[in-house]
Structure 1
C-alpha cells in the first residue's frame, strides 16, 4: 500500500492553491474550495457467521478530512483548469480482532493503520458545454455509482468526457485505469463483486463506459442508456426510466431499470450471465414519502459490479444487496421530513426488504431480510449551524450468508473556504 505521511499530505495540500494562483487570473473566477470533517463510528456484529472469515465483529472509529478544490477556467474559446481532492483518515479506535470495517486500511500485521492520506489532481478543459477531465475522477453512473459510504470517498484515475450541447441530453464516456479504494491511499487495479462476494482472484486495469441521460417534460421525465466494461471480466448494459407526476397534494414517482451483463474478453472470472430488473415507486405528500419496490435477478450469475461499490438497484442498500443469483425481493420504505412539523433539518427513514428464491448452489433456497432505521439532523442555526448528525441501525438476517447487526454514527461539518 502506497501510504503518504501526514506532513507530506499537508505540504501538498497547502501547495495546491499556490499552483492555481500562479496561473491566469481566470482560473480563480468561479473557483470553490470546501473542507469537510467527518467523524465515523461503524460496528457490525456477525451473530451467525457463514463463510471463510470467522471474525465475529468489525468495529472501528475514525476521523476523516476531505478537501475539495475546483478551479474556474481560463478565458478564451478553450478554457482550462485544475481540480484537487485531498483526503486524510485518522484512526481513533480499532484492534486486530475488529478490523475490516472499510473505514481504515489493514497493515501486514493485521492492525489498522494509524493514518492514511492522498492528494489527487484533475486537469480539465472545456469547450462550450463539453468538458474533458484527466486525473482523479469520481464518476457517478448507473454502471459505476459513486459510493461515499465510509470515512473517505473512493476515486478513480483516468480520463472522462461529458457533453451537454443538446438541451436535456448529457452524454458521458470514460476510461479508468486504477482505483483508490475508500480505505486505501494508493492506486489499485479493479476487481469485481458478484452479488456480495468479492472476486479477488482476478483484476482489471481498465473500466470503460459510455452512456447518456435525456430529461424532458419540464425535467419530470428522464431516460438513460449506458454501457460499462470491466475489461476481460464483464460487460454490462443499462436502460433506465424515471418520472415524477404531481397529482393534487401528492407527487407520484417511478424509477425503473434493467441491467444485462455477460463475460468480457479473456473471461478471467469465467462465464457471467445476469439480467436484473428493478422498480421503485413513490408517493409524496407534505413531509411523508412512501415507497414500494420490486427487484429480480435472472440468469446463472449474481449481479456484477466493481468492488466495493453499491449500485442504483432499487432494493440495494449498503448492508445487503439482494442481488444474488435468481433472487427476488420486495421493499417497503417510509421517509418523513420534520420540516413539515416546523423542525427543519430532521429527517427519518425506515425500510424493510425481504428476498427469496436465491440459488445458493448448496441445494436449498436462499432467503434474506433487512430492516433499516436512519435518523439525520442538520443544525440550522447557532454556533453548531452546518453540523450534520446521522444515526443508522440495521438488522439483517439470512439463511445462506452471515447475519448482521449494524450501527453507524456519523458527524460531519463542512467549511466553505472559497
Structure 2
C-alpha cells in the first residue's frame, strides 16, 4: 500500500482512483464524484527537547538534546459512494515530509526518519488507499486506515500522522449505538516512509520497553450515547497478538447547570499478557478521571489517575492513550503511579480577540515502583505545560493556525525534559 512518492504524484494518484470506477456510477447525483472531498494540509513543525538530568535507559544517556525543524504536507482524498443498495468508494492519503534543519546529535524528535549513518533523512513520503463499502449505516474499509479508538487513539502529534494497514468495520444501525471492530496487520509510523509490524510499549520500573513485533492488532468495541447525547458509555476489547490483551470501559457525561457546564470523563483499563507472551507476563489495571467546569470563556479541569499491578499501561508503540493525565511529554502511567492534574483553559474571544486560546496544565505523580543500581525506590515526577494557539480570522492568511507549546518536566527516576514546539499549519480545501 505504501511507496515513495512526491507531492504531485500523490495528487495524481488520488485523482486517478476516481477514474478507475465506471463513468456512469461516478456521474450519478450524490455519487462517487459528487460527494468527494480533498484537502491539502501544510504543516511547519519545530521541535526542541533538552534533557537536563539524564537518567533511565542507556540509550537516553547518549544524547542531551533532540532538535529538528521540518515541513510536512498531508493530502486527504475521500470519495463519495457509487449509487445502489451497496455503495463503493475510495479513501486515499498522501504524505510528504521535508527536512529544514537537523543534525546527527539532534535527531530522534519523531519528525524525520533516522538513517543508518545517524543523520535524519532529507525527505520521506507515503501513499496509501483504502477501499470502502457501505450498506445502510454500516461501513467496511480495507487498506490504509487511521482509526481513532480508545484502545488505539489517533496520534497525530508530530509532523505527519501514523497509519495502519488492515480492515475495519463501523456500524450505526441503532440510534446512539456505534459498534466497531477490525484487524490491523502492520503500521506506518509517524516518521517512516514504509510499513512494519506493530510493536508494544510497556512501562516496567524505570524503563519503557519497546517489545518484539506482533502479527496483528485486533479490536472490538461499542459506544452508546443517550440523554440527548450528554451521556455516553463504552466497552472495548483489544489484542496485540502474543503480547497483550486489554479491556476498556468508559463513562462520559456533560451536565448544564445554570451558566455552568459540568463534565466528567471516567475510564478503566485492564491488561494482561496474551498468547505466546512475547513480552513476558503483563499485569496492569489503570483508572482515570477528569472532571471539568466551564463558564463562558473559562474551563477548569481536575484529574486523578492510578496504575495498579506489576506494569504500567501497555499500548501500541508511538501511540498515545485516552488517559486523563497523559500528555505528550510524560505519560504518568508507570507501575503503581498515582497522579493528579489541574488545568485551566481560556478563550480570548470574550476579550475581543477571537481565535486566541490558551491552556495551562500542571500534573504531579508519585508512588512509582522504580529501581536503579541502588535498589527499588519511590519514583516521583511532575510536568507543567503552557499552550498558546491562534487561528487567523480574516485577510489573506485566514485560517492559518499557530500553536506554541512550552513544557517543563522533572522526575527522580527518568530523564528531566525542557521542551518547546512551534507548529504552523494551514488546510486548503481542493474540492
Q: Please classify the TM superposition score into its range, dividing by the shorter chain length.
A: over 0.9
Do the aligned partners of 1:377 and 1:389 also contact (CA within 8 Å) in 2? yes
Root mean square deviation, CA, Å: 1.2
Aligned to 1:184: 192
Aligned to 1:4: 4
CA 1:378–1:12 in structure 2 vs 1: closer, same or farther (change >3 Å)? closer
Question: Distance in 1 between the 2:210 and 2:403 partners?
Answer: 32
Aligned to 1:154: 162
TM-score w.r.t. the length of structure 1 is: 0.97
Question: Distance in 2 between the 1:197 and 1:86 partners?
Answer: 35
Deviation larger for 28-37 or 187-196: 187-196
Aligned to 2:45: 40
Question: Distance in 1 between the 2:10 and 2:300 partners?
Answer: 47
Q: 2:325 aligns with which of 294, 315, 336?
A: 315
Residue 236 in structure 1 maps to residue 241 in structure 2: no
Aligned to 2:344: 334
Do the aligned partners of 1:31 and 1:69 also contact (CA within 8 Å) in 2? yes
Question: Distance in 1 between the 2:315 and 2:392 partners?
Answer: 36
Shift of 1:240: 0.2
1:34-55 deviation digits (Å, cap 9, x = unpaired) = 0000000000000011121221
CA 1:276–1:206 in structure 2 vs 1: closer, same or farther (change >3 Å)? same
Question: Distance in 1 between the 2:5 and 2:283 partners?
Answer: 44
Shift of 1:198: 4.8
1:92-122 deviation digits (Å, cap 9, x = unpaired) = 0000000000000001100000000001001
Question: Distance in 1 between the 2:314 and 2:225 partners?
Answer: 27
CA 1:389–1:12 in structure 2 vs 1: closer, same or farther (change >3 Å)? closer
Question: Distance in 2 between the 1:12 and 1:278 partners?
Answer: 41
Do the aligned partners of 2:5 and 2:126 also contact (CA within 8 Å) in 1? no
Residue 127 in structure 1 maps to residue 128 in structure 2: no
Residue 108 in structure 1 maps to residue 113 in structure 2: no
Shift of 1:241: 0.1
Aligned to 2:16: 18
User: Any unmatched runs of 5+ in structure 1?
Assistant: none
Shift of 1:3: 6.5
Question: Distance in 1 between the 2:199 and 2:416 partners?
Answer: 25
Q: 1:407 aligns with which of 396, 403, 420?
A: 420
Question: Distance in 2 between the 1:172 and 1:290 partners?
Answer: 32
Question: Distance in 2 between the 1:70 and 1:5 partners?
Answer: 19
Residue 357 in structure 1 maps to residue 363 in structure 2: no
Structure 1 counterpart SS, 2:18: helix
Shift of 1:408: 0.1
1:309-344 deviation digits (Å, cap 9, x = unpaired) = 110000000000000000000000000011122211
Aligned pairs (5 A) from 1:19-418: 19-23=17-21, 24-25=25-26, 26-50=31-55, 51-53=57-59, 54-195=62-203, 197-361=207-371, 362-418=375-431
Shift of 1:197: 4.8
Question: Distance in 2 between the 1:123 and 1:220 partners?
Answer: 34
Structure 1 counterpart SS, 2:173: coil
CA 1:219–1:5 in structure 2 vs 1: closer, same or farther (change >3 Å)? closer
1:106-145 deviation digits (Å, cap 9, x = unpaired) = 0110000000000100100000000000000011111000
Shift of 1:11: 2.1
1:56-76 deviation digits (Å, cap 9, x = unpaired) = 000000000000000000000
Question: Distance in 1 between the 2:148 and 2:380 partners?
Answer: 30
Structure 2 counterpart SS, 1:260: strand
1:128-180 deviation digits (Å, cap 9, x = unpaired) = 00000000001111100000000000000000000000000000000000000
Question: Distance in 2 between the 1:402 and 1:237 partners?
Answer: 31
Deviation larger for 266-275 or 188-197: 188-197
Question: Distance in 2 between the 1:22 and 1:267 partners?
Answer: 44
Question: Distance in 1 between the 2:20 and 2:131 partners?
Answer: 15
Do the aligned partners of 1:260 and 1:274 also contact (CA within 8 Å) in 2? yes
Structure 1 counterpart SS, 2:213: strand
1:7-35 deviation digits (Å, cap 9, x = unpaired) = xx532431321220452222112111000
Runs (4+) of structure 1 moved beyond 6 Å?
none
